[in-house]
Structure formats: structure tokens, C-alpha cells
Amino acid sequence: MYTYAFINWPVISLSLPLGIENELEIVHSGAIGAIVEQGIAFDHLQIDDELLLRAALEHDRVVCELFSKTTLLPLRFGTRFLTKEGLAAHLEEHADTYLEKLRNLKGKAEYTLKLIPIELPPELPLPETSGREYFFAKKKRLEEQQAHQELQVSELENLLICIADLADDLKVAEPQDSGIQRIHFLAERNLIVNIDAYLQGWQGDCATWTIELERDLPPYHFV
């Protein structure tokens, strides 16, 4: 039984989108419900990379559509339960935990900042000499590179302070090999309706980064 998310139950007039292959339904136990889809041959999807990618995109679509209508706890792609009874037992066992998380997430959304490092402009070739001129040119280049890296670190630290003042919670992902940084933060939707103004200010304060924003996401990193 493929499972997308947990929600409060009962829920009033929640229209369910189409799932990866079939209609969705709700399995519930007490005050917790689960959005599920039956009949997916998930093992078959896993042997075809193209089908698996499409299924992952469809999973994200379903979660986002549901999140636009109600508070939820999104589950990872591929989450499955063997039986409806097993799922109901799981919901009953963890009801208090899930209810507390749903209460804390009500009215909030996840936002993700992608910070792409801006490199220094291309450097002029070093002087074709091994003497004093070459030594000082190389020293100057290393100092400029170090100063640029230190400025990037400082700007990132200051940005995190600004976000912490705005957000209920934040998480910094491990930087990628390319130097790209991602900051996930949770915030009240009605408190950051002017998120574009915040973004403009953050970009102005971060001259060594290009900042991109993903907004109003399900709370993937805060469940």
C-alpha cells in the first residue's frame, strides 16, 4: 500500500488528486489519516529508471497538491505498508507524535534557498619569470582568493542569522562539491507574504553568492 502523507482526521471536503497510477484513498485510525494508493507495482518501477523517475515526480506532484489544501506530514518517495491493517496499527501507535507535528506545522510552509558561489573574475596570467615580480603576483592572487572565500563565509553566516530571526526552524544541507549551499527553513505563510522583498535584501547583502528561492513547499525537512 503506497503512502504519500499523514494528515489530521477527519478532514472536511478534501478532494484527492490522481495518484501515480490509480485513485487515492484515505486510511485512518483515530485522529490520524494516511493518503494512500493501492495497486502500484513498485518493484516493477524499480527496474526501469525512466519509470522510477516519473513515479518520483508524480509523488512530489501529489504531495504538493495535497499540501495546497491541508496541513500534512509528507513521506519519502517509496514509503509503503504491506496491509491496510498494518498501516492503521502504525497510525495508532504513533498518533501522539504525528498529531504534535501536525499542530506545529499548521499554517507553515518550507522555503529553500539555493546559494550558488560566484567565482572571482578570470585572472591574468602570472608574469613569465621566476623572480621577485612573479613571487609578489602569486602572493597577491592567493590573498585575493582567500579574502573572497572569507567574505563568502561571512555573508553566509550573516544570512543564516537573518533567516533565524524570520523562521521557526532552519536546516543547512551539506554543501555540494560545486560549493552550492542549500538552506531549508520553516516559516508562517502569512508572515512572509513579502518573501520577494526579503530575497532582494538577502541578495543585496550577499555579493559573492547568487541566491535562488523555492517557496511554499511541503515541510519535507521538518517532519
Q: Which residues are within 8 A (CB) of 138 and not within 5 positions of it... i.e. 6 or more apart?
A: 126
Rounded mean pLDDT, 112-117: 96
**In this predicted model, which residue has the larger pLDDT, 142 or 94?**
94
The three cell numbers of residue 222 are: 521538518
- Percent of the chain exceeding pLDDT 90 equals 70
The three cell numbers of residue 95 are: 498518533
Total Cβ atoms within 10 A of residue 176: 10
Is a pLDDT exceeding 80 seen at residue 140?
A: no
The three cell numbers of residue 18 are: 490522481
Selection from 99, 109, 216, 214 nearest residue 167 by Cα? 109
Predicted confidence at residue 45, as pLDDT, reads 82
Rounded mean pLDDT, 63-68: 96
Predicted confidence at residue 28, as pLDDT, reads 94
pLDDT tier at 123 (50, 70, 90 boundaries)? low
Predicted confidence at residue 127, as pLDDT, reads 57
Rounded mean pLDDT, 102-115: 95
Is a pLDDT exceeding 90 seen at residue 9?
A: yes
pLDDT tier at 114 (50, 70, 90 boundaries)? very high
Is a pLDDT exceeding 90 seen at residue 110?
A: yes
